[in-house]
Amino acid sequence: MADNTASFVRNQLIPESPPPSSETGAIKWVRENLFSSPLNIFMTVVSLWAIYSLIINVAPWFINGVWSGSSVRDCYEVLDGATGACFAVLKERWPQLIYGFKYPASEFWRPNLAAILLCIAIAPVLFRTVSRKLFFFTLIYPFLAFWLVWGGTILTSIVAFAGFLVALLSFRKLENHGFVIALIGGCAAALVCWILGGYIIDLGENFVALPAVPSRDMGGFMLNLILGTVCVSLSLPLGIVLALGRQSNMPIIKWICVFFIEFIRGVPLITLLFVANVVLAYFFPPDTNIDLILRVIIMITLFSAAYIAEVIRGGLAALPSGQYEAANSLGLDYAQSMRLIILPQALKVSIPGIVNVAVGLFKDTTLVSIISMFDLIGMIRGPILASTAWSGVYWELFAFAAMIFFIVCYSISQYSQWLERQLETDHR
């Protein structure tokens, strides 16, 4: 019976129902993704074969690996011609790989403690659920870590911290008189505090002192970690300032920022490191002896700040102008609208790019091995491979270096993806 009337009224909504069972399950997934067409079947088989042969060839190297011995010849004896890795080098040279070859063994607990405290200090920065009170610890951590790793009297760290504190307080006091006056006042207060503090440090050289370890004795993965953490945490704020400066209406500030960013981006990092090593000394007064690690930190920070600035500039450009207008129309001043409205959004957009730079920076810290600093790579290339006991053990050492860097960089990348999901607010 054909009932073709055009008018139609629905009285009942059709209820939701689950999809048919052939549309779910593992078998369906395999069929659709691995064996959907002849080409797909062929590629699946080839890939499986490639994975199989890789495992078959590499597995014995790992499984037969020798973990004890005091030289590469011990390994050969144990292996007796079979394929196998000589992991004994990692065990025997572990302190060198991690702390460098001159850091006194009796003081290893200090960098270890600093590393553990780093995890606590970094927690409130990374996770919003952690108590805000821990931020206080985050603020004092850099000074505490410096004292732990470098040693000497704790007064040095206290004076440095006091300088920043005095600068902040005088900035707050002078804020009403204008930003520039407050900034100059803050810097002057800090300088006075540090100069006076210098005399106090000279008087109390042994006050709560740890045995001092000079910078040239730092090495191993510890050096990579120090350079990486310090440079990332310094270059992020500097990058923000540069990005905002590049957007500024004031031409001189804008030109300075543009020139700085373009100059740094046009110069290889190696060049800057050589500058730090050799040339930078000419720019300081003749008697000053700026620490080599400090010089390297300055150079790497400037380098990555320029890249981070460009990433953040992209984030700023991605914001619709309506956000600036809305912030302005509510009466927020420049600093407030940047801090509360613009930067939180621009930084969120820039997270992938910033993490990209941060990961790149962390890996680039190995370049310091070229200016004869003994970081992890420098240790492997220099003292370890050059020793008669372990000459020729390339694979194990570089695989170890690769693995340790991969773990850190992959964690950073995973964290950033987690953070992006956390900051997602436009889900329905």
Partner 1 sequence: MTEQVHLEISDEIAIQIQNMNKWFGSFHVLRDIDLTVNRGERIVVCGPSGSGKSTLIRCINALEEHQKGQIIVDGTELTSDLKNIDKIRSEVGMCFQHFNLFPHLSILENCTLAPIWVRNTPKKEAEEVAMHFLEKVKIPEQADKYPGQLSGGQQQRVAIARSLCMKPRIMLFDEPTSALDPEMIKEVLDTMIELAEEGMTMICVTHEMGFARQVANRVIFMDQGQIVEQNAPEPFFNDPQNPRTQLFLSQILGH
Contacts with partner 1 by CB under 8 A lie at 320, 322-323, 325-333, 336, 340-341, 344-345, 348, 423, 425-428
Nearest approach in angstroms of CB 416 to partner 1 is 17
Nearest approach in angstroms of CB 368 to partner 1 is 38
Nearest approach in angstroms of CB 175 to partner 1 is 14
- Cβ nearer to partner 1, comparing 179 with 394: 179
Euclidean distance between CA atoms 299 and 285, whole angstroms:
18
Please, are residues 112 and 225 in contact by the beta-carbon 8 Å criterion? Answer: no
CB-neighbour burial class of residue 415 (10 A; exposed 0-12, middle 13-18, buried 19+): middle
Nearest approach in angstroms of CB 382 to partner 1 is 48
Beta strands in 102-204 (DSSP E): 152-153
- Cβ nearer to partner 1, comparing 22 with 425: 425
- Cβ nearer to partner 1, comparing 264 with 343: 343
- Cβ nearer to partner 1, comparing 191 with 318: 318
Report how many helices (DSSP H) and strands (DSSP E) the chain contains, helices first: 19, 2
Euclidean distance between CA atoms 114 and 147, whole angstroms:
9
- Cβ nearer to partner 1, comparing 131 with 249: 249
- Cβ nearer to partner 1, comparing 37 with 329: 329
DSSP-assigned letters across all residues of 91-110: HHTHHHHHH-SSS-GGGTHH
SS3 134: helix
- Cβ nearer to partner 1, comparing 11 with 321: 321
Which residues fall within 8 angstroms of residue 232, CB to CB, at 6 or more apart? 304, 358, 361, 362
Specify the DSSP class assigned to residue 210. E
Tell me whether strands 209-210 and 152-153 are parallel, antiparallel or unpaired.
antiparallel
HSE-up of 289 (CA within 13 Å, CB side)?
A: 2
Euclidean distance between CA atoms 71 and 86, whole angstroms:
9
Which residues fall within 8 angstroms of residue 36, CB to CB, at 6 or more apart? none
Nearest approach in angstroms of CB 325 to partner 1 is 5
Nearest approach in angstroms of CB 272 to partner 1 is 36
- Cβ nearer to partner 1, comparing 1 with 421: 421
- Cβ nearer to partner 1, comparing 234 with 341: 341
Please, are residues 146 and 110 in contact by the beta-carbon 8 Å criterion? Answer: no
Dihedral (Cα; 353, 292, 142, 412), 10-degree rounding: 30
Give the helix ranges, DSSP H, for 16-153: 26-33, 38-63, 72-79, 88-92, 94-99, 109-126, 135-150
Nearest approach in angstroms of CB 330 to partner 1 is 4
Nearest approach in angstroms of CB 327 to partner 1 is 8
- Cβ nearer to partner 1, comparing 4 with 321: 321
Please, are residues 69 and 86 in contact by the beta-carbon 8 Å criterion? Answer: yes
Nearest approach in angstroms of CB 333 to partner 1 is 6
HSE-up of 45 (CA within 13 Å, CB side)?
A: 8
Structural element, H or E, at residue 209: strand 209-210
Query: 344 to each of 295, 323, 347, how far by Cα in Å?
Result: 31, 12, 5
Helix 343-364 and helix 292-318, axial crossing angle in degrees, nearest 10 = 140
Nearest approach in angstroms of CB 125 to partner 1 is 18
Nearest approach in angstroms of CB 336 to partner 1 is 5
Per the document, the length of the chain is 428
Which residues fall within 8 angstroms of residue 280, CB to CB, at 6 or more apart? 290, 295, 298, 299
- Cβ nearer to partner 1, comparing 247 with 345: 345
